[in-house]
Amino acid sequence: MSNPVPAANAAATAKKSQKHGKTLGKRIAENWQLYLLLVIPVVITLIYKYIPMYGVQIAFRDYKPARGFFGSKWVGWEWFERFFTAPNFKRMIVNTIKLSVFSLLWSFPVPIILSLAINQMRFKRYKRVVQTVMYAPHFISIMVVCGMIRIFLSPYGGLINLLIGQQIDFMTVPEAFRTIYIASGIWQDAGWGTIIYLATLSAVDPGLYEAAKIDGASMFQRILNIDVPELIPMIILQLIMAASGIMSVGFEKVFLLQTQLNRVTSDVIAVYVYEQGIVDHAYSYSTAIGLFNTVINIILLIVVNQIAKKAADVSFV
Amino acid sequence: MEGYKAVFANSDLFNGFINSVKYTVIGTLYSVITVYITAYPLSRKDLPGRKWISIFFIITMYFGGGLIPTYLVVRDTGLLNNMWALFLPGGVGMGNVIIVRNFFENNIPKELMEAAEIDGADNFTVFLKVVVPLSRSIMAVIVVFSMVAFWNDWFTALIYLQKEQYPFPLVLRGILITTEAMSNMTGGLGYAEANRLTELVKFASMIVAAAPMLIIYPFVQKYFEQGFMTGAVKG
């Protein structure tokens, strides 16, 4: 630090009164270095975020590389119609919705229950160790997680098959796909999900617990009457965020867990977008499907946000 | 030990490991620098136009062009088969920007910055000499988050890079999931021996992929809650 602090307060007041009368132009000129810092982030964001947003219009064009984003022929709703009449359209929509709704229902409550339990731990050391262990899976690559899943479920000496004394190749069983996806998702992210709830719970006044104890409240009553009400606004906030993403199933894990034989349940929109666009180079068609997905997500976000606003007076957006 | 030797003796896996280290180091530098130079100006309440600039960035958190339009822009800017395709299309990590900006606003005393200004320090000096040194704890969190993201990333590489440039997880995919990469390692061995080595390599390479991040994160764990809270105050 190159500067002494003592003079700071007096100086700050002097500076404020001096600043007051300055024109906008002068204030901009004074801060040119701050604008200079922003130049690189703004340029990167313009090129790689805003141009693609504008380029979404190829969903309504017949994109040809030689003609570029804006020179290609206008075809209106053709790609959307093709998607709606595609042979697997219904299956993909149903799979996408089922996978994320079930995923949400099963995984959403877990971090809440875990954080309520961790919050009751009185030995700080032990609590920290528990947290460290529970956060760990979040830092493991999804590739390794999917490798582990395949090894555990392998028909040749995989743990699960040894336990049940069978030789089932679960990766080829369509009925097993959702369970595998959701269970491994909970294993990987439930612990990490407790952070936000634990941070909220740390704001609870410890005196409240003492008072409740003196009044004879059991541990369960303390959790129900002190902790849960404290968490409600955060729970609703998290629910809004999760609900608005219903149509955006995590592509990576589905892609890695998909086999030719479990496609009946594992075919989702995101994988189709990838296959059509990157593998088959059907750029316009793939963009149209992606856009369809995004629009539904935005509608969901707005609807859920409105409901939450009315129901609990919390708003996220 | 035999498994680990086999992992690093295999040129694909070894190459992937070196690539991953390179991408993680450069990607983390890129992301910490861009997050800092975005977050600092946005944390200055006296900056004219601050609100509009913030909106400009925050919009990108909710809207995007999607996979293909982004791919086409990456291709048209000549980044296919270029390492920078892993970093630039992500733009600036806005989640991190918000965490860091709120940290600057709440945890760095205004008086200190103003005192420095009165002593003749310009905005760059204040940023480098006051703000950066006083935000080490939050920087540690951002560094770890970025390292984890780049170390574990494989999808971006799958889309934009070619085989020799693949990071470790993507080479791992060949071993664990499509099982194509193993044949060139076990060629010339008997069936049972090949099988045993395959299993060893699978386990060893998964540990090589997972261990570095598992060793690093406990060091900054105590800052996680703090980071999330300052980040959650204002979305």
Question: Tell me: the pLDDT tens digits for A252-306?
Answer: 999 999 998 999 999 999 999 999 999 999 999 999 999 999 888 888 888 887 8
Q: How far is it between the farthest Cα atoms of chain A?
A: 82
Q: Point out which residues pair with A73 in neighbouring strands.
A: A62
Nearest C-alpha of chain B: how many angstroms from A130?
12
- Number of separate helices (H) and strands (E) present in chain A: 19, 2
Please list every residue in chain B whose beta carbon sits closer than 8 Å to the beta carbon of residue A49.
Answer: 60, 64-65, 91
Residues A262 and A260: their CA atoms lie apart, in Å, by 6
What residues contact A238, with CB distance under 8 A and at least 6 apart?
Answer: A108, A196
The CATH code belonging to domain A89-312 is: 1.10.3720.10
Please list every residue in chain B whose beta carbon sits closer than 8 Å to the beta carbon of residue A198.
Answer: 225
Burial class (CB in 10 A: 0-12, 13-18, 19+), A20: exposed
pLDDT at A126: 93
Q: Of B125, B100, B105, B107, which is closest to residue B115 (Cα–Cα)?
A: B125
What class does CATH assign to B2-233? mainly alpha
In this complex, do A9 and B92 lie within 8 Å of one another by their Cβ atoms? no
What residues contact B43, with CB distance under 8 A and at least 6 apart?
Answer: B100, B101, B102, B104, B105
Are the CB atoms for A184 and A190 separated by under 8 Å? no
Q: Of B229, B186, B95, which is closest to residue A196 (Cα–Cα)?
A: B229
Tokens of B124: 């760059």
Residues A188 and A137: their CA atoms lie apart, in Å, by 5
Q: Of A165, A163, A156, which is closest to residue B198 (Cα–Cα)?
A: A156
Question: Tell me: the pLDDT tens digits for B11-53?
Answer: 889 999 999 999 999 999 999 999 999 999 999 988 999 999 9
What is the full DSSP assignment across A83-96? Answer: HHTSTTHHHHHHHH
pLDDT in tens, chain B (235 residues): 778 888 888 888 999 999 999 999 999 999 999 999 999 999 998 899 999 999 999 999 888 888 999 999 999 999 999 999 999 999 999 989 998 998 898 888 888 888 998 888 899 999 999 999 999 989 999 999 999 999 999 999 999 999 999 999 999 998 887 665 565 566 566 777 777 888 888 899 999 999 999 999 998 888 887 766 655 544 3
**Rounded percentage of chain A residues whose pLDDT exceeds 90:** 57
In this complex, do A48 and B70 lie within 8 Å of one another by their Cβ atoms? yes
Residue numbers of A between 104 and 163 with CB closer than 8 Å to B:
128, 131-132, 135-136, 139-144, 146-148, 150-151
B47 DSSP 8-state letter: S
Are the CB atoms for A118 and A198 separated by under 8 Å? yes
Using the predicted structure, report yes or no on whether residue A32 has a pLDDT greater than 60.
yes
Mean pLDDT of chain A: 87
Q: Does B51 touch chain A (CB under 8 A)?
A: no
Closest-approach residue (CA) in chain A for B77: A47
pLDDT at B107: 86
Q: Does B148 touch chain A (CB under 8 A)?
A: yes
Q: pLDDT category, A70, cuts 50, 70, 90?
A: confident
Are the CB atoms for B171 and B7 separated by under 8 Å? no
Distance of CA B187 to the CA centre of its chain: 36
The 10 Å CB-count burial string (b at 16+, else e) for B154-193 is bbbbbbbbeeebbbbbbbbbbbbbeeebbeebbeeeeeee
Please list every residue in chain B whose beta carbon sits closer than 8 Å to the beta carbon of residue A143.
Answer: 152, 154, 169-170, 172-173, 176, 209
Q: For chain A, what are the domain ranges? A: 22-76, 89-312
Residues A272 and A278: their CA atoms lie apart, in Å, by 10
**Which residue from A132, A139, A199 is facing B228, i.e. has the nearest CB?**
A199
A317 DSSP 8-state letter: -
Q: For chain B, what are the domain ranges? A: 2-233
State ipTM. Answer: 0.89
Interface test with B, best of A26, A27, A28, A38 (most B CBs within 10 A): A38
